[in-house]
Every structure is written in structure tokens, then in C-alpha cells.
Structure 1
Amino acid sequence: MSGLRLTARSSLPGMTTLRRALVLAAIAILAALLAGLAVLDPFHLRHAQWFVAATVLATIVLVTLTLAVAVRIYALRVLVLVVGGIGAVGWAAVAYLTIGLDDERGAVAEVASGDRRLVVLEGEPFTIDTVFRVVLRSGAGPFEQESPVWLGEPEGAAPDEVSFRGADEVAVRTGGCVLVSRVEPVTLLVDPVHRGTAGC
């Protein structure tokens, strides 16, 4: 009897380690699914890049911890932690720099209709030339939505007017042309997204 008890007790640490690894693996899979959803961005979140950065970082950390718990050889465990740590720090640095460079120069004009706003912006991310663009925004806070509506030509003029047409259409008037797009109310998908005076 004492031998059986000793055997049962000696197997508990291994079972605990396996259970921890499985729990961490399940959480890592969930984080990876959330990262994929953030990349797809079906709801056109204005701050989607921050969600991508956070969920990918969480996935890297959780995968590293899962492997570190599952591996029993000390040297391999240290190697996993070092590689995972480098990957996490590297991803965090790249994400921070990329998001920091994605800086708009400011709103030139804004037209509101209820909770939605058509905003004329000066400046396109990662470009030097002056480019005007129009975006549609809805809501506020971390889950604020934003979809592109119109993109001007480099060194081109700002649109003459932006306006709402009912609940599901927006319009941009530029150079004598009126460009109309439809808006999907839930995802805030704008179709089509116009460029310059194309389609006039």
C-alpha cells in the first residue's frame, strides 16, 4: 500500500506540469485567435494597430511560457525563455515604432451626423507629400471605428465639401464632382473608397 501511495504521489508533479502547459496552450490559442481577428479588423477599429500589437505580444509570451513549462530539461527551458524574450521585446519595439510613425497631421474639417463624423485630414501615414483624405468615424474611446472614404492626390487640394446623405450614404465634393459611397451600419465599411476624381 505504501508503495502504491508513493507512486501516486510521485506522478502528481508531472500531472500538474502537464495541466499547466495545457492551460497555457489553450490561452495562447485564444490569444492567437484574437490576434487574427485584430489583423482582419472586420469592424474597422481606429486603434486596431494597438489591438494587433497587444494580442500578438500576448501570444508570443504565452507560447514561450507554454514551452518553458512543458520542457523539463533546464538548458532547453532557459533557451526557450531567452528566444521568447527576444521575440517579445523585438515585436514590442517594432510595433511601438510603427504605430508611432503612423501619425496624422490633424483634422482640417469635420461634419457630424449623430454619432458619426466625416473628417477631412491633412497627411497620409508614411508619406512626406501633403495629401488630403476623408475618413468616416463612429463612436469614441478604444473601440472607435474609422473607415476611409476618399484619398486625394499628392500635393492636391482638399475636398470642397463632405456631407451625409441619409443614414447609409456619404458624399465628397471635389473639383465639381460629387462622389457618393454607401456605408454598412455595423462594420462601418465604406464602398467604394474614392481616390481623387476617379469615378466622377
Structure 2
Amino acid sequence: MTTLRRALVLGALAVLAALLTGLAVLDPFHLRHASWFVAGGVLLTILLVTVALTVAVKLWFARVLVLVVGGIAAVGWGITAWLAIDLDEPGAVVSEVASGDQRLVVLEGAAFTIDPVHRVVLRAGDGPFEQESPVWEGVPEGGAPGGVAFRGRDEVEVRVGSCVFVSRVEAGTLLVDPVHQGATC
């Protein structure tokens, strides 16, 4: 295989990695760990572009320069992504109700909040492709929901005081509509 062909194959792989990263950014399936897919996709794209340019450049000092710049970009992105993802605190699980493969989870706490904030999320699946969608989010210093329940296969409810919030769920993408915010009816 010629040098140009290798560079073109590596460039095509970089474009494919960038497209998959774009899909992870759009997150049509509400993946719980989508931020890790985005971080990994960007890192893979940086590495593939670096290697493609290294293969394409013929001068040795230009190759070294490309490798140094690409290495700095990869390490910088890795550290930045790790810190940003680590700052996103999911909160402590207060309670969980399951129905089949889906779970309604009540969480306490959120990133960058001093006062406790309660929220309810719907989760499905397990592992790296676990899905998660918000259902309800309370206000700072507000109380936890009185109860959460499934209403059939495609509806969930959250009870806060005398209010009952009902949301529809699309099973494949785990799209929740509407997402309720605040503790008032």
C-alpha cells in the first residue's frame, strides 16, 4: 500500500470517527454514558488525524512536529474531558421502582448545587448502553417526591404532595414527554 493510500484510509477513518462522535453528541437514544462516547470519539478522531498527517508528511522534522502537536492535543483533550465528566455528579439514589427492564429512580443532589435537589429519571438497560431520561426535577430545598410509579407500558407518574405529574414514554428511544420541573401543580 502506498503512503498516499495509507493517509487517505486513515483520513477516511478519522471522518468516520467524527461522524460517530456527532451521533453521540445528538444522543437520540438518551444514553446515560453519552459523554464518555463523545470524549472517546473526539480522542479517536484526534489520534487518527495525527497519524494520517504523520504518514502523509515526508519531512522528518514535520512528522515530529505533527506528532508533538497531536500528542499535546490528545493529552489535553483527555484531561479536559475526564475532569468535565467527573464534575457531573449524578446524585445519590433515594429510591427505585422497576417495571420490566425500566426503572424509575429518585435521585438527591446534582452538580454545582448547595441545597439538595431531588429529581426523577427513567432508566432502561444496563452497562455502557444504559439509557436515562429525566422525568421530573424539583426545586432547591424542595422535598422529595411522595412516590413514583409506572402507569402501563408507556406512562410514568410522579406524586409531589397533592399533585400527580404524568409523562408519556417512547420505549425505543426512552423519550419522556413532558419533563416536569418544579414542585407546583
TM-score (norm 1): 0.89
**2:148 aligned with 1:162:** yes
Calculate percent identity across the aligned residue pairs. Answer: 71
| Counterpart Cα distance in 2 of 1:177 and 1:156 | 14
Q: Alpha-carbon deviation of 1:90?
A: 0.6
| Counterpart Cα distance in 2 of 1:126 and 1:98 | 12
Which of the numbers 70, 84, 92 marks the counterpart of 2:70? 84
Q: How many residue pairs are counted as aligned between the two chains?
A: 185
State the one-letter code of the partner of 1:136. Answer: L
Q: Alpha-carbon deviation of 1:104?
A: 2.6
Structure 1 runs, 4 residues or longer, greater than 6 Å off? none
Name the structure 1 match of 2:130: 144
Aligned pairs for 1:30-69 (under 5 A) are 30-69=16-55
Unmatched segments (≥5 aa) in structure 2: none
| Counterpart Cα distance in 2 of 1:37 and 1:80 | 28
| Counterpart Cα distance in 2 of 1:71 and 1:185 | 49
**2:113 aligned with 1:127:** yes
Q: Alpha-carbon deviation of 1:169?
A: 0.7
| Counterpart Cα distance in 1 of 2:76 and 2:114 | 27
DSSP 3-state at the match of 1:53: helix
Deviates more, 1:97-106 or 1:163-172: 97-106
Q: Alpha-carbon deviation of 1:111?
A: 0.7
Q: Alpha-carbon deviation of 1:28?
A: 0.5
Q: Alpha-carbon deviation of 1:124?
A: 1.2
Name the structure 2 match of 1:71: 57
Q: Deviations over 1:118-151 (max 9, x none)?
A: 0000011232321100000001111110000011
Name the structure 2 match of 1:5: none
Is contact 2:139-2:183 (8 Å) kept? no
DSSP 3-state at the match of 1:103: coil
| Counterpart Cα distance in 2 of 1:152 and 1:104 | 15
Name the structure 1 match of 2:4: 18
| Counterpart Cα distance in 2 of 1:22 and 1:184 | 41
| Counterpart Cα distance in 1 of 2:41 and 2:111 | 23
State the one-letter code of the partner of 1:27. Answer: L
**2:177 aligned with 1:195:** no
- CA-based RMSD of the aligned residues comes to 1.2
| Counterpart Cα distance in 2 of 1:104 and 1:20 | 43
**2:94 aligned with 1:117:** no
Is contact 2:31-2:131 (8 Å) kept? yes
Is contact 2:116-2:140 (8 Å) kept? yes
Structure (1 or 2) with the greater helix fraction:
1
Name the structure 1 match of 2:80: 94
